[in-house]
Amino acid sequence: ISLTTWFRDYLYIPLGGSRGTTFKVVRNTFIIFIVSGFWHGANWTFIAWGFLNALYFLPLMLRGNNRKNVDLIAKGRMLPNFREVIQMLSTFALSVFAWIFFRAPTMSDALLYIKRIFTTSWLAPLQHTGMEVFLPLLIAVLMCIEWVNREKPHALQNISGPILKYKVARWSYYCILVWLIIWVGAQQQSFIYFQF
């Protein structure tokens, strides 16, 4: 049983789910997301993360749009339209903003991180490692691979293209990925769920 299924079956549905008055729908949504935050840890940062996700979800729920727009973006087309680009960017920005609270050790740290996002101080660590050019380029390449293969079950697993049909190119790609995993893994960051 997944955490989502457990919350739905043992908390959300017994509370009344999405049936009832608007107040009950709002209450149930906040309870689910805040309990989800509390499940991740007994810290105000996780509660804030759950609260933000409830705020993000409520407009969809109240308008009845929570089950719409779950298809692939730009299905059958190479590029998304302007509206789809805005939707993707806003979803990404809101998700990453909530993750600040999820990853921060304390609320004051989370607020400090948010403050520093709007300065150039976050670029300083990249400048000392030579990553200020390499990292954005790597992210752009991986995003392009992901986008082109978005209709496949596992985008990176099913990479296709004339270049990667050659063994040398394909194995070079694999070696680069292994090198990146080892290089990034050398920083010895513990898996986040080991702390719970």
Looking at residue 185, its amino acid is G
Catalytic residue among 34, 36, 37, 40: 40
| Axis-axis angle for helices 82-103, 107-117 (nearest 10) | 140
Assess contact for 80 and 15: CB atoms under 8 A: no
Q: What are the tokens at 13?
A: 């549905």
Looking at residue 82, its amino acid is F
Assess contact for 127 and 135: CB atoms under 8 A: no
CB atoms inside a 10 Å sphere around CB 142: 14
Q: What are the tokens at 180?
A: 């990146």
**Catalytic residue status for 40:** yes
Angle at 136 (CA atoms; ends 139, 84), nearest 5 degrees: 60
Assess contact for 40 and 11: CB atoms under 8 A: no
- Which residues are catalytic, by number? 40
